[in-house]
Amino acid sequence: MRVELLTVGDELLLGDTVNGNAAWLGRRLADHGVEVTRSVVVGDDLEVIVAAVEAALGRADAVITTGGLGPTSDDLTRDALAAAAGVPLVRDPELEARLRARTARAGRELRPMALRMADVPKGAGLLANSAGSAPGLRVELPGGVVYALPGVPFEMHTIMDEVVLPELARTAGLPAVARRTLRTARLWESVVATRLAEVEAMDGVRLAYLPGPAEVRIRITVAGPDAAGRLAGVEARVRDLLGDAVYGAEDETLDRVVHRLLAERGATVAAAESLTGGLLGAELTEMPGSSATFAGGMVTYATEAKHRLLGVPAELLAAHGAVHPDVAAAMAAGVRDALGATYGLAVTGVAGPEPQDGRPVGTVYAAVAGPGDSRTVAGPRLPVPGPGRETRGVIRRMTVVHALELLRRVLLGLDAGEESEEAQADREDRD
Amino acid sequence: MRVELLTVGDELLLGDTVNGNAAWLGRRLADHGVEVTRSVVVGDDLEVIVAAVEAALGRADAVITTGGLGPTSDDLTRDALAAAAGVPLVRDPELEARLRARTARAGRELRPMALRMADVPKGAGLLANSAGSAPGLRVELPGGVVYALPGVPFEMHTIMDEVVLPELARTAGLPAVARRTLRTARLWESVVATRLAEVEAMDGVRLAYLPGPAEVRIRITVAGPDAAGRLAGVEARVRDLLGDAVYGAEDETLDRVVHRLLAERGATVAAAESLTGGLLGAELTEMPGSSATFAGGMVTYATEAKHRLLGVPAELLAAHGAVHPDVAAAMAAGVRDALGATYGLAVTGVAGPEPQDGRPVGTVYAAVAGPGDSRTVAGPRLPVPGPGRETRGVIRRMTVVHALELLRRVLLGLDAGEESEEAQADREDRD
């Protein structure tokens, strides 16, 4: 089955909006084994939309449009589809009643123009929109079928997942699909891909790697009969191959995992930071309700503050400078005590662009101080990204991930996660 | 002049990459008064690319392609343009020498496949690429001209700005264009647009509003004879109309402005945060060299820590809770003294999703403690963004902007920037 995408809107041609809808649709359809063969953007021009729909159906079996279904005069997708089908627009009484009820509930009057959203090409099917006011449309044309979806992303996603994909699965015999995303920290994308080669070779399994600073998400898609059942087996195999580097699944971010582990233990954490300047605390407070397990933090950017506020021994700072594993350990213990937390988590390092205390850019140490003892990890020197990237920002972000992963491993009683040989070799290849 | 965009690459159809290149090109061309009438994405398929180029030139005067100029076998734009022109690919000796010299300098051997990047359709013009190894191509076809650019964004931007736009300006008589971006904090986009209505009505002037949380950037584009000279006058008028809400221009972010103002005064700042959890410190350390003016920070997420670490009077916290202008003021003075900084900057508030101490979500107060006195601002209740957005994240980000803007105003001796009547009215309209 071949599908073309048609995105409608002047704002896309002008570049005021980036075409995220087309990317989302492409990904979703690819996961279901549907090939998107072309993606076209046109402006708010009736004749151009009609011609684009007809040309697309000359090549593909179905066209999915987004945009142009709103209430204003430049929303022309309805009119274009009616013209392409050679039918008039008719007002749908049920849609009109729903629009009137919705505005009445909000205590407003319905603007006459908004009634345009109740107009549909005669004979078109309505695609229920549980996320908004205007439904999508299904219009059968001589060359194939057009699914017209709104441009608002979460409405478009909802109609696609709830209506269009199930319908395509029925009518075009698309295979059943099951999906799962696993999250790993501190593994290189190339290491993940090498370890998962055997999974990638499995029939009906598609792996996508979504890398971020010091993290890789792995999206597993299984298509075919008993997709859901097979997915469970594939996920188990992926977890076997990646081991304890898998920290979570779906939208369970590393900070959420750490909060959960702390909550399960009735524990709290406090953060001491230098190069990250507050990013670690910001990450630990991103989640609603984080105050139950986050006690607070100190940003000791100046070396002197590490001594005065966190009690890092002056001799240690004098001997090694601020970027040293023992300094990280002392910071962790200091912030734990200063904020009365169960755990202290600390980072110190060089974000660049200049070296500091003789340490090169990307040297980062993290440490965790537990309830009684203090456990430190001598972080590997982080790889410095190439030119054209925001080196400093990436190092700071990687540092946050390394620190949270260290805390996770300590909470779970895992080894501290030294750099593996294969990761080291991979890093050296890139250097 | 009508231009179509053609983006080549399977990764775009699969949605693994979002089409930022098309958006950038659309914006750039619109600034120069060139209308992009269609934007098409096709996969790495020779015949499809040829057909798409020919169809585009049947409608437009010029086509700009991106992607498909790399060294691998699925990079097919060169071959497609040769096929469309009915000419062979020929190896350009100068390009070959340049590629060999580049790999030799890096101490590597040139892979035979990389030599593909030295092949050009016979008769094609080369578009110099000062940012990378492969040039762009200019190919004249019966229907018009094709500019083929690489898909790597910064290379594409460079060739476009240095070669293609100047050439279009000469050959198609595009007007000269001059651009300037001004940055404002704490003004609503609609307020900015209302104040600038007279500028928007000026001939040859285009304004684009680029809103972010609590910030609006205004991109001014002036086209026509003496564009650069006119731009200076337009910029002055915009600054008149917006007053001291304009904090900087181009890439001069608010944190950079604050650092500059502090450095000019030989001063430092320390940050005390609650709801932002460290974001304020993170913003103040984003810039390289920020340690000269940033002394450090405290994240007192728990109410008790505000008393113990920052010396906020217990009676004050007991009487008003943690979200109160006097608490912000005490936090600012406390962190200034704890870190030995010239200024203390503090925020306290409710990021949500639940109210706190009886204050609704979005209640935020910021305060600055100066060298001698303490100056506070009772922040307006921030507008809570609608459903489907990340409310908590937006409130935290807006809080950072409000705090930095307050410090800027104090450093410059401006009034503290209470919410204006028009902004209030606008906010109530949205509520």
Taking only the tens place, the pLDDT of each residue in B32-64 is 888 899 999 999 999 999 999 999 999 999 999
Helix (H, G, I), strand (E, B) or coil at A28: helix
Concatenated DSSP letters of A293-355: TEEEEEE--SHHHHHHHH---HHHHHHH-S-SHHHHHHHHHHHHHHHT-SEEEEEEE--SSS-
Give yes or no for a cis peptide into A153 (omega within 30° of 0).
no
The angle formed by the CA atoms of residues B204, B205 and B208, to the nearest 5 degrees, is 140
B429's CB contacts (< 8 A; 6+ apart) are none
* The token pair that represents A335 in the structure block: 């912030």
Q: Are A296 and B299 an interchain contact pair (Cβ–Cβ within 8 Å)?
A: yes
Considering only CB atoms, A291 lies closest to which of B42, B286, B301, namely B301
C-alpha distance from A242 to closest chain B C-alpha (Å): 23
pLDDT category of residue B1 using cuts at 50, 70 and 90: confident
Closest to A98 (Cα-Cα) out of A113, A78, A112, A118: A118
Chain B contact set for A14 (CB, 8 A): 26-27, 30, 36
Q: Tell me, what's the pLDDT at B283?
A: 97
Distances (CA, A) of A87 to A68, A80, A115, A141, B325: 18, 10, 19, 11, 63
pLDDT at B430 over 50: no
Q: Are B48 and A37 an interchain contact pair (Cβ–Cβ within 8 Å)?
A: yes
d(CA B101, CA B96): 9
Q: Are A305 and B297 an interchain contact pair (Cβ–Cβ within 8 Å)?
A: no
Q: Tell me, what's the pLDDT at B265?
A: 97
B159's CB contacts (< 8 A; 6+ apart) are B127, B128, B129, B131, B135, B136, B149, B150
Task: Report which of residues A81 and B168 the model is more confident about.
Answer: A81
* The token pair that represents B224 in the structure block: 């026509």
Q: Are B282 and A301 an interchain contact pair (Cβ–Cβ within 8 Å)?
A: no
pLDDT at B346 over 80: yes
Residues 406-425 of B with CB under 8 A from A: none
Q: Tell me, what's the pLDDT at B327?
A: 93
Query: Quick one: average pLDDT of B308-322?
Result: 94
Architecture of domain B177-249: 2-Layer Sandwich (3.30)
Distances (CA, A) of B61 to A390, B3, B124, B150, B209: 38, 6, 17, 21, 29
Task: Report which of residues B70 and B252 the model is more confident about.
Answer: B252
Residues 103-132 of B with CB under 8 A from A: none
pLDDT at B418 over 70: no
**Sign of torsion over alpha carbons A144, A145, A150, A151:** negative
Task: Show me where the domains of chain A are located.
Answer: 2-172, 177-249, 254-426
Residues 295-334 of A with CB under 8 A from B: 295-302, 305, 309
- Fold topology of B2-172: Molybdenum Cofactor Biosythetic Enzyme; Chain A (3.40.980)
Q: Hey, is the C-beta of A51 within 8 angstroms of any chain B C-beta?
A: no
Q: Are B276 and A285 an interchain contact pair (Cβ–Cβ within 8 Å)?
A: yes
Percentage of chain B exceeding pLDDT 70: 92
Question: What φ, ψ does residue B172 adopt, rounded to 5°?
Answer: -100, 5
Residues 372-401 of B with CB under 8 A from A: 388, 392-393, 396
pLDDT category of residue B385 using cuts at 50, 70 and 90: low
Considering only CB atoms, A14 lies closest to which of B30, B285, B352, namely B30
Q: Which helix (H) or strand (E) covers residue A401, if one does?
A: helix A391-412
Helix (H, G, I), strand (E, B) or coil at A398: helix
Query: Quick one: average pLDDT of B407-425?
Result: 72
Considering only CB atoms, B277 lies closest to which of A15, A22, A282, namely A282
Considering only CB atoms, A23 lies closest to which of B15, B38, B280, namely B15
Q: Which residues of chain A have pLDDT under 70?
A: 373-390, 417-431
Query: Quick one: average pLDDT of B347-376?
Result: 84
Q: Tell me, what's the pLDDT at B188?
A: 81
Closest to A323 (Cα-Cα) out of A271, A382, A372: A382
> Could you tell me which residues are beta bridge partners of residue B416?
none
Lowest mean pLDDT across A121-135, B9-23, B201-215, B394-408: B201-215
pLDDT category of residue B254 using cuts at 50, 70 and 90: very high
- Ramachandran bin of B107, using left for φ above 0, alpha for ψ from -120 to 50, beta for the remaining angles: left
User: Tokens 């991930």 map to which residue?
Assistant: A401
Considering only CB atoms, B276 lies closest to which of A19, A20, A282, namely A282
* The token pair that represents B236 in the structure block: 């002055």
C-alpha distance from B18 to closest chain A C-alpha (Å): 6
Q: Are B15 and A38 an interchain contact pair (Cβ–Cβ within 8 Å)?
A: no
pTM of this structure: 0.79
CB A96 within 8 A of CB A103: no
B244's CB contacts (< 8 A; 6+ apart) are B409, B412, B414
Q: Tell me, what's the pLDDT at B373?
A: 65
DSSP A359: B
pLDDT category of residue B113 using cuts at 50, 70 and 90: confident
Q: Are B277 and A298 an interchain contact pair (Cβ–Cβ within 8 Å)?
A: no
Neighbours of B222 (CB within 10 A): 26
Q: Are A38 and B40 an interchain contact pair (Cβ–Cβ within 8 Å)?
A: yes
Chain A contact set for B275 (CB, 8 A): 285
Q: Which residue is closest to A300 within chain B, CA to CA? A: B296
pLDDT at B355 over 90: no
- Fold topology of B254-426: Maf protein (3.90.950)
Chain B contact set for A301 (CB, 8 A): 281, 285, 290-291, 294-297
CB A213 within 8 A of CB A394: yes
Mutate to test the interface with B, among A11, A27, A41, A342 (most CBs of B within 10 A): A41
Q: Which residue is closest to A41 within chain B, CA to CA? A: B39
Q: Tell me, what's the pLDDT at A308?
A: 92
CB A344 within 8 A of CB A369: yes
SS (H, E, C) chain B: CEEEEEEECHHHHCCCCCCHHHHHHHHHHHHCCCEEEEEEEECCCHHHHHHHHHHHHHHCCEEEEECCCCCCCCCCHHHHHHHHHCCCEEECHHHHHHHHHHHHHCCCCCCHHHHHHHEEECCCEEECCCCCCCCEEEEEECCEEEEEECCCHHHHHHHHHHHHHHHHHHHCCCCCEEEEEEEEECCCHHHHHHHCHHHHCCCCEEEEEEEECCEEEEEEEEECCCHHHHHHHHHHHHHHHHHHHEEEECCCCHHHHHHHHHHHCCCCEEEEECCCCCHHHHHHCCCCCHHHCEEEEEECCCHHHHHHHHCCCHHHHHHHCCCCHHHHHHHHHHHHHHHCCCEEEEEEECCCCCCECCECCCCEEEEEECCCCEEEECCCCCCCCCCCCCHHHHHHHHHHHHHHHHHHHHHHCCCCCCCCHHHHHHHHHHC
The sheet carrying B205-212 orders its strands as B205-212, B215-223, B177-185, B246-249
Q: Are A16 and B27 an interchain contact pair (Cβ–Cβ within 8 Å)?
A: yes
pLDDT category of residue B429 using cuts at 50, 70 and 90: very low
Distances (CA, A) of B326 to B210, B252, B276, B376, B400: 34, 32, 18, 8, 19
Q: Are B38 and A48 an interchain contact pair (Cβ–Cβ within 8 Å)?
A: yes
C-alpha distance from B356 to closest chain A C-alpha (Å): 11
Query: Quick one: average pLDDT of B240-256?
Result: 95
Considering only CB atoms, A277 lies closest to which of B28, B285, B392, namely B285
Residues 4-23 of B with CB under 8 A from A: 12-20, 22-23
d(CA A381, CA A398): 11
Beta-strand pair B177-185/B125-127: unpaired
